[in-house]
């Protein structure tokens, strides 16, 4: 088995995303540990390790779901992202018009791109 740090980093990023998305799971995990101390329930080191491993796996799977399903959809419907994309298209169109010799249309496209981006500076 070959050591691939990119895969470990990717899993770690998924874990962080999942952990940040599920504050309730973190609270439940902390509650489990707190109650085990308060009520003097003797978990062995192996039981804590199993609980921690299950927690990490669950957060990693949740992170994969968030990274692949939720975030792309949020970016697709975000008005900021939509304006940014439309602004980029206007900039490309202005270059096309400039190279074709239609400088007035190029200026109009640049003004439109500028309007789309200035909207978010207010």
* Average pLDDT rounded to a whole number, residues 25-35: 74
This prediction has a pTM of 0.41
* In 23-102, alpha helices (H): 23-38, 45-65, 71-77, 79-100
- pLDDT confidence of residue 25: 65
Percent of the chain beyond pLDDT 70?
A: 87
Q: Which of 49, 55, 72 is nearest to 18 (CA)?
A: 55
- The CA–CA distances, whole Å, from 106 to 51, 84, 103 equal 61, 18, 5
- Per-residue pLDDT tens for 81-112? 788 888 889 999 999 999 999 999 999 998 99
- Per-residue pLDDT tens for 53-85? 887 788 778 777 877 777 777 666 778 778 888
User: Band of the pLDDT at 20, cuts 50, 70, 90?
Assistant: low
Token code pair at residue 111? 């003004």
């Amino acid at each position: 088995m070959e050591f691939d740090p990119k895969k470990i980093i990717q899993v770690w990023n998924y874990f962080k995303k999942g952990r940040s998305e599920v504050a309730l799971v973190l609270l439940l995990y902390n509650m489990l540990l707190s109650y085990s101390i308060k009520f003097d329930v003797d978990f062995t080191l192996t039981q804590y390790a199993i609980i921690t491993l299950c927690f990490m796996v669950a957060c990693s799977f949740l992170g994969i779901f968030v990274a692949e399903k939720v975030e792309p959809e949020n970016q697709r419907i975000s008005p900021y992202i939509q304006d940014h994309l439309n602004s980029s298209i206007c900039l490309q169109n202005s270059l096309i018009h400039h190279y074709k010799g239609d400088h007035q249309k190029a200026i109009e496209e640049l003004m439109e791109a500028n309007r789309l981006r200035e909207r978010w500076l207010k």
